[in-house]
Amino acid sequence: MASVFKRMRYAALGLVVVAAVSAFAAGCGDDDDDGDDGGEPTTQATTSTTPEGEETPAGGGIDVSGVPELTDGTWTIGADIAYAPMEFEDDSGEPTGFSVDLANAMGELMGVEVAFENGAFDGLIPALLSERYDTLITSMTINDERDEQVDFIPYFNAGSGIIVAAGNPNGIQTPADLCGRRVAVQQGTIQVELLETQSGDCDEAINILQFPTDPEAVQALIAGQADAEMADFPVAAYSATQSDGALEVIPNQIDPAPYGIAVRPDSDELEQALQDAMDQLIEDGTYADILEEWNLAAGAIE
Q: Are residues 129 and 233 in the same domain?
A: no
Averaged pLDDT score across all residues of the chain: 84
pLDDT of residue 231: 96
The mean pLDDT value for 71-89 works out to: 95
Amino acid symbol at 247: L
- Note whether 137 and 179 are same-domain residues: no
Q: Which helix (H) or strand (E) holds 228?
A: strand 228-232
- Residue 77's DSSP bridge partners are 116, 135
pLDDT at residue 157, rounded to an integer: 93
Calculate the alpha carbon distances from 129 to 73, 144, 164, 264 in Å: 20, 17, 37, 6
- How many of the other CB atoms lie within 10 Å of CB of 134? 23
Confidence of residue 60 (pLDDT cuts 50, 70, 90): low
**Pick from 226, 271, 262: nearest CA to 247:** 226
H/E stretch holding 261 reads strand 254-263
pLDDT for 252 equals 80
What is the DSSP pairing of strand 135-136 with strand 74-79? parallel
Residue 127 binned pLDDT confidence (cut-offs 50, 70, 90):
very high
The band of 146, judged by pLDDT with boundaries at 50, 70 and 90, is very high
CA pair distance 260, 85, nearest whole angstrom: 16
User: What average pLDDT does the segment 227-244 reach?
Assistant: 93
283 and 250 co-located in one domain: no
- What's 130's domain CATH number? 3.40.190.10
Q: What percent of the chain has pLDDT over 90?
A: 74
- Shared-domain flag, residues 165 and 181: yes
| Domain, as residue range, for 75 | 42-157+259-297
Q: How many CB atoms lie within 10 A of CB 78?
A: 25
- Chain segment 188-233, per-residue pLDDT in tens: 999 999 999 999 999 999 999 999 999 999 999 999 999 999 999 9
Whether cis (ω within 30° of 0) applies to the bond prior to 85 is yes
- Residues 128, 235, single domain; the answer is no
Q: Which helix (H) or strand (E) holds 157?
A: strand 151-165
Q: How far apart are CA 104 and CA 121, in angstroms?
A: 21
Q: With 60 as the cut, is the pLDDT of residue 94 above it?
A: yes
pLDDT digits (tens, 9 = 90+) for 6-27: 333 333 333 333 333 333 333 3
Say if CB 273 and CB 59 are below 8 A apart: no
* CA angle, 110 then 156 then 249, to 5°: 140
pLDDT value at residue 251: 85
Query: Mean per-residue pLDDT for 64-69?
Result: 96
Are residues 153 and 164 located together in one domain of the fold? Answer: no
Are 169 and 46 contained in the same domain? no
